[in-house]
């Protein structure tokens, strides 16, 4: 598809789904992506509550195949690996795992140290670029529709998102089926459908990224306050979903 065709499709679908409820729009959007694009649609999962809910919709409620992939940065919590395994077994799927280029990681660590991300925003971005962005670009090769578990209310950086968008940085249609969902909606879906989830979510970790860049939050704190907590809130994205070229 050309860029113009993707932009036109995004406008058409946003208009078509505008009146649907949060649940209806999510299920309709996921079904449309899988049935229309098949293996040219892909869910990127970080095994969050949200991504697990979308995985469940894809695996159980939609006929057809779709790719589901995750990025192993090399700095993940062990609970993430356990959850990948449990999810694969539960749904009879094999989540694709993409790793960073080892030579780039090696050179970065040699130059800047193993925990460089604490030293400056620039070095934190360098680490995210090498461990996440480059593998993501590889994973998205040949993908027309990139499915995410993002929600509008998750962050001050996500207030203008739409259920379906054209992502200029990756020349891909980005589908955010849970855009309208609240955190409570997601947890309710996961629990009532018996979806495997990370028990860390019940121990003060609503948003889980790499182990050294994630801390538990206190009651009342913003749900993403535990991600890169030493930085200014409006800079707290890894770049996976915030690149504007």
Binding site for ligand SF4 (CB under 6 A): 73, 75, 117, 124, 127-128, 131-132, 209-210, 212-213, 238
Nearest residue (CB) to ligand SF4, 40 versus 104: 104
Q: Is 103 exposed, middle or buried (0-12, 13-18, 19+ CB in 10 A)?
A: exposed
Nearest residue (CB) to ligand SF4, 128 versus 175: 128
- Judged by phi (left if over 0) then psi (alpha if -120 to 50, else beta), residue 243 lies in beta
Supply the minimum distance, in Å, between the C-beta of residue 212 and ligand SF4.
5
Supply the minimum distance, in Å, between the C-beta of residue 195 and ligand SF4.
25
Nearest residue (CB) to ligand SF4, 196 versus 209: 209
Nearest residue (CB) to ligand SF4, 100 versus 177: 100
- Closest alpha carbon to 177 in 17, 9, 5: 17
- Position closest to ligand SF4 via CB: 210
| The two three-digit tokens of residue 79, written as one number | 């609970």
Question: What order of strands is seen across the sheet that includes strand 41-44?
Answer: 96-98, 67-71, 41-44, 145-147, 172-175, 164-167
Supply the minimum distance, in Å, between the C-beta of residue 27 and ligand SF4.
31
Q: CA angle at residue 19 from 16 to 24, to 5 degrees?
A: 90
State the first-to-last Cα distance of the chain, in angstroms, to the nearest integer: 20
Name the catalytic one among 127, 128, 213, 238: 238
Tell me how far the alpha carbon of residue 36 is from its chain's centroid.
Answer: 21
Nearest residue (CB) to ligand SF4, 25 versus 214: 214
Supply the minimum distance, in Å, between the C-beta of residue 100 and ligand SF4.
8
- Closest alpha carbon to 146 in 208, 83, 68, 93: 68
Supply the minimum distance, in Å, between the C-beta of residue 126 and ligand SF4.
8
| The two three-digit tokens of residue 175, written as one number | 């589908």
Our answer to whether residue 238 is catalytic in this structure is yes
Distances from the Cα of 113 to the Cαs of 40, 46, 150, in angstroms?
A: 38, 25, 32
Active site residues: 238
């Amino acid at each position: 598809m050309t860029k113009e065709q993707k932009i036109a499709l995004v406008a058409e679908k946003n208009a078509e789904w505008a009146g649907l409820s949060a649940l209806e729009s999510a299920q309709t959007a996921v079904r449309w992506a899988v049935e229309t694009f098949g293996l040219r649609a892909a869910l990127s999962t970080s095994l969050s509550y949200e991504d697990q809910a979308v995985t469940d919709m894809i695996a159980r409620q939609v006929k057809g195949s779709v790719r589901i992939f995750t990025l192993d940065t090399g700095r993940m919590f062990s609970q993430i690996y356990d959850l990948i395994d449990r999810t694969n077994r539960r749904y009879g799927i094999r989540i694709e795992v993409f790793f960073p280029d080892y030579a780039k990681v090696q050179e970065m660590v040699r130059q800047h140290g193993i925990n460089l991300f604490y030293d400056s925003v620039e070095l934190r971005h360098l680490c995210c670029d090498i461990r996440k962005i480059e593998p993501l670009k590889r994973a998205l090769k040949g993908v027309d529709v990139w499915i995410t578990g993002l929600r509008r209310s998750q962050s001050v950086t996500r207030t203008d998102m739409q259920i379906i968008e054209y992502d200029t940085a990756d020349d891909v249609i980005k589908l955010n089926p849970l855009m309208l969902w609240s955190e409570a909606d997601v947890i309710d879906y996961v629990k009532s459908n018996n979806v495997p989830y990370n028990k860390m979510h019940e121990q003060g970790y609503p948003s889980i990224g790499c182990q050294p860049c994630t801390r538990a939050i206190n009651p009342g704190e913003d749900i993403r306050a535990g991600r890169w907590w030493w930085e200014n809130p409006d800079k707290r994205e890894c770049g996976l979903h915030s690149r504007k070229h």
